[in-house]
């Protein structure tokens, strides 16, 4: 089940962020351009919760296995991307910080989260879904095209105010 998060979910969401970053450290391979203690953090999750746009994936046993921020906020760098799906800003939904706990990876849950985001955005009257991911995030850069997303372009982003990174931007008509 995927649902809007509650305050009680915040520790589990922050634990997912940490588990992902710890796994990257253990393996010596980073698929995110995230930095432990900077982004994402408990404060990140709290801000998104307060905005009303934090969603969590929850197993039958109540375990939170994933999260995402689904809103309409397009970063300034989106303005340089040659989007092919015409949409006014208010017609665009954006997925940010989609996470799956490493223990739950490889079960199709990220695809489930993306489909949920698409359905939610359609119900909100959106006509396009956009997102960005670091060029080095091989799993994400494989996932999104497999779900029908088109690579619209790449740009250098000032990621969360602490690092410049090249991000791939994807889009899909809803």
For residue 113, the model assigns a pLDDT of 98
Q: Is the pLDDT of residue 48 over 70?
A: yes
pLDDT band with cut points at 50, 70 and 90 for residue 160: low
Quick one: average pLDDT of 78-82? 96
Q: Which two tokens stand for residue 18?
A: 């940490």
Quick one: average pLDDT of 88-108? 97
What are the φ/ψ torsions at residue 111 (nearest 5 degrees)? -60, -40
* CATH code at position 155: 3.40.630.30
Quick one: average pLDDT of 69-79? 96
What is the pTM for the complete model shown?
0.96
pLDDT band with cut points at 50, 70 and 90 for residue 164: confident
For residue 11, the model assigns a pLDDT of 98
- What are the residue ranges of helices labelled H in 79-150? 109-123, 138-146
Q: CA-to-CA distance for 159 and 140, rounded, in angstroms? A: 17
Quick one: average pLDDT of 24-36? 92
**Domain range spanning residue 55?**
2-173
Question: Which of residues 38 and 68 earns the better pLDDT score?
Answer: 68
Q: Is the pLDDT of residue 128 over 70?
A: yes
Query: What percentage of the chain carries pLDDT values higher than 70?
Result: 98
Quick one: average pLDDT of 66-94? 96
Q: Which residues of 154-171 are buried (b: 16+ CB within 10 A; e: fewer)?
A: ebebebeeeeebebbbbb
Q: Is the pLDDT of residue 63 over 80?
A: yes
**Cβ within 8 Å of residue 47, ≥6 positions away:** none
Q: CA-to-CA distance for 46 and 42, rounded, in angstroms? A: 6
Note the Cα 122 to chain centre separation in Å.
Answer: 17
User: How many domains, the chain?
Assistant: 1
Question: ∠ CA 100-16-39 to the nearest 5 degrees?
Answer: 105
Q: Under a CB-based contact definition with an 8 Å cutoff, are residues 63 and 9 in contact? A: no
């Amino acid at each position: 089940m995927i649902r809007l998060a509650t305050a009680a979910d915040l520790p589990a969401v922050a634990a997912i962020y940490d588990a992902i970053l710890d796994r990257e450290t253990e393996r010596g391979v980073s698929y995110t351009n995230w930095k432990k203690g900077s982004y994402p953090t408990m404060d990140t999750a709290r801000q998104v919760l307060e905005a009303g746009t934090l969603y969590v994936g929850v197993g039958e046993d109540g375990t939170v296995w994933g999260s995402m921020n689904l809103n309409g906020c397009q970063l300034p760098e989106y303005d340089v991307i040659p989007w092919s799906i015409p949409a006014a800003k208010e017609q665009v939904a954006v997925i940010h910080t989609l996470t799956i706990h490493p223990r739950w990876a490889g079960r199709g849950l990220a695809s489930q989260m993306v489909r949920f985001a698409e359905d939610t955005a359609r119900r909100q009257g959106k006509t396009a879904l956009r997102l960005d991911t670091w060029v080095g995030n091989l799993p994400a850069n494989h996932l999104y095209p497999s779900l029908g997303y088109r690579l619209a372009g790449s740009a250098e982003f000032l990621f969360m105010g602490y690092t410049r990174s090249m991000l791939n931007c994807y889009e899909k008509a809803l």
